[in-house]
Amino acid sequence: MDFSYPNVLKLFEQHLDPKRGESASFLLWYLENYFRLDHVDAVDAICDQPGDKGIDGIVVDDQLQVIYVFQARLYQNNSGTVGDSPLQTFAGTLLQLKDKETITRLIESAGDAEVAALIRRLELTEKISEYEIVGEFLTNRAIDSNGTAYLSSAPQISFIGPDKLGSTYISNLRDQAIQKETVFDVSLFQVTEYIADDSHKALIVPIRARDLLKLDGISNQSIFNFNVRGPLGSTNVNKDIAASVRDSNLHKMFPLLHNGVTIIAGEMDVSAEQLKINDYFVVNGCQSLTMFDKNEDDITDGLYVLAKFVQVDPFSPLAKMITEYSNNQNGVKARDFKANSSTQIRLKNEFQGLYAGQYSYSVKRGEETEPGVTITNEDAGLYLMAFDLKEPWATHRRYQVFDDKHAQLFARPSVTADRIVMLQMIKEEIDKISEGQDENTLFWKYRLTRYLMLYLIREILESDEQGLEIIRTPGNMTRIESERRRFQECIRTLLRDLVLDLNAEVKDEGENFDYRGKLRDEAWVKAICKQALVSYNKLVARRHVESFAEQWQSQGKNCYGQS
């Protein structure tokens, strides 16, 4: 990545606007790509206008109880470095948010400036006593020795320069597989051409199914990268497609029975005899091509498919619109449309970079399974709903994960592959201990009970110094196999104690206990978790059980032979 000026502007040229400064555009790009904020939330976090008291943006993470304050400097002179002077100035800026009194004075002195409105909207005066302030100095220059020396005495400031930006960047784009040129024989039919403008056109023509199987990327699924779903298996639609393929009497009728395929291509060249395409992807027709591939021996030369070829840049907004609008055969769900969102692709890429062969992240139905433990983005969303949003009673509304709660669940700086792996590990231990219960069995088999436990684990961990550290920086644990085993053993021990208390609480509810209704009742869930937490804390206080921090230390001795 090139952070020299003016090349750096290419990174965020979509954000540049006469009414938004270059530094603010730089910060907006950073918030979207590194803090993983939704575009609207990122825009709302910025206050880079005159009178904003040296504050360019503020983000509040209520889960981690951290207030991030940003100052962005985009330098046009590429020869300089950042010394201690701008960092000292930024430290002075942060003092304006030291406590409720200084924040109140800042609001009063800022008047109508954007920073005052942003502070009010984020309710900083109410949160400052409980939250930690972290300053991030964002720039396209490297830091010099004076700046580095100053940072050693200013732990509240993080320097985000070219080195940090380059090493921590995770793309939100899919790998662009280069598909080889494919040529189709169109001599038997007249090609229908529709020209939208100088750069975009569509061609519609029947294509032999056998010729479609020559498309590059079917075997490794790369041709379907832009499709909202992978192969869906034995759906009714796919069974009908397979039946039509196996019955040679229906081959001539195939274009009448099925919708066909839509292929977007960066380049197309058509003549009376042949059609050539390059840089192509199938955005509708994954199920048909997959069924053709599985039943290739049954395909005859008489089986044609109605194909629509659209000349468009596969990475353009128009290509995305074509993908969404053309998918109407197998029912498309909200999850399918989120599969191509920058939030989900970035997480998938992060999993591939950090946990290849150990954990994989599935973002769409039917995609090819990767080695390791597979975590679907739907499951991850439910984990986050119970653990981060602390709403286990709402996890039966799975549709919300990809609907109105998607940004709230996923588009936050703390939602990383590390965090999702941590939650998967906790959930696995919860599943194991739940399946081993021989009393209140219906309660423990019920799915919402597992999310109640995830919520209760969160409550305990965040009240423990060591547990809170893991919540805030899960990667320090999840990226090391021995540390993962250490964490799992601690969670296992913790769950054994909690299960005893919960079983007692459930038993007190009586034989006609409506666990299905109660687990959807926010007040009941909070009350029973509070009771379990009080019981657990009493056991810890009386030294009947170890705290999580003590368990962590004990497991460390067991794992590493520490004295």
Are 22 and 93 contacting, i.e. CB atoms less than 8 angstroms apart? no
pLDDT of residue 489: 95
Length of the chain: 563
Whether the Cβ atoms of residue 228 and residue 327 lie closer than 8 Å to each other:
yes
What does pTM read for this prediction?
0.60
**CA-CA distance, 313 to 394, in Å (whole number)?**
40
* Whole-Å CA distances, 346 to 124, 229, 342: 30, 17, 6
Alpha helices by DSSP H, 339-446:
342-354, 377-387, 406-410, 417-435, 441-445
Q: Helix, strand or coil for residue 304?
A: strand
| SS3 call for 258 | coil
pLDDT of residue 125: 94
Show pLDDT as tens, one digit a residue, over the chain (563 residues): 899 999 999 999 988 888 788 999 999 999 988 888 877 788 889 987 777 889 999 999 887 889 999 999 999 999 999 999 999 999 999 999 999 999 999 999 988 888 998 999 899 999 999 999 999 999 999 999 999 999 999 999 999 999 999 888 766 555 555 678 899 999 999 999 999 888 899 999 999 989 998 888 776 677 776 554 444 444 555 676 777 788 888 888 888 877 788 898 889 999 999 999 988 888 887 777 877 878 888 888 999 999 999 998 887 888 877 776 666 544 445 555 566 678 888 899 999 999 999 999 988 766 667 889 999 989 999 999 999 999 999 998 888 888 888 888 998 889 999 999 999 999 999 999 998 888 888 788 888 899 999 999 999 999 999 999 999 999 999 999 999 999 999 999 999 989 988 888 888 887 777 787 888 899 999 999 998 898 889 989 999 889 999 999 988 766 555 43
